[in-house]
Amino acid sequence: MTPLGIPLVKGPTIAALLVLLGALCSCDIGTGEKFIVTSATGCDLGSHNGTLCIVPGNSLVGHGRTMGPPENLLYLLIVCPGIAASAHGQSTEYGHPVNVYSSAWATDKGTVSVRVRWNKRSDKVLIGNLELNRGAGNMFVVERQPTAKLVVTQLANAGPNLGAEAAVAFIRQHMTNDALVASIRLPTRD
């Protein structure tokens, strides 16, 4: 006991308390994850069956696991040309260490879906059977072809705070020879 009557805690118990404290405050201290992510925003496309998902969060830096400034960590443009969808839904599963971003479209032949998994510990993004290093570029364009084949393009880091319109402009600027990308439009505002 300390002079103030507080129990004295030593060694590994302190580490266990820090991990518990991190879990209680929804932080990733002690989990080995490199990022804190608590939300994602999605925007349906106005031109195709597709969606643009922007994932904001914070990097954890240094040995003290200091939280960096808020920024957009991941941009996902998912396009499903050639399908006639009657409904669309999106979901996000927040987990340790993997978040899953899913989009699904209902068609008369069943559900068409695309899942993107991001491991916040290894900083790898898994799309279909393709594993990519998010650090090499945080913008991903996924075309789900009518044959169910996924064509994935990873682009350079798009910047920390692009909105939907700027993100689509960034994609067009870097994929100038792609007719599908050139035809993508966001919904018009009233």
Contact 161, 55 (CB under 8 A): no
Task: Report the alpha-carbon distance of residue 152 to residue 143 in Å, rounded.
Answer: 6
Instruction: Name residue 131's beta-bridge partners.
Output: 126
**Cβ 69 vs Cβ 78: under 8 Å:** no
DSSP 65: T
- Give the C-alpha separation, 69 to 141, whole Å: 25
pLDDT tens, position by position, 86-143: 889 999 999 999 999 999 999 988 999 999 999 999 999 999 999 999 999 999 999 9
> Residue 149 and residue 129: Cα distance in Å, rounded?
11
Domain boundary assignment for the chain: 1-30, 33-183
Give the pTM: 0.81
- pLDDT > 90: percent of the chain: 67
End-to-end CA separation in angstroms for the chain: 67
User: Do the beta carbons of residue 142 and residue 77 sit within 8 Å?
Assistant: yes
Residue 188's pLDDT band, with cuts at 50, 70 and 90, is confident
pLDDT for the residue numbered 183: 94
Beta strands 139-144 and 150-155 are antiparallel
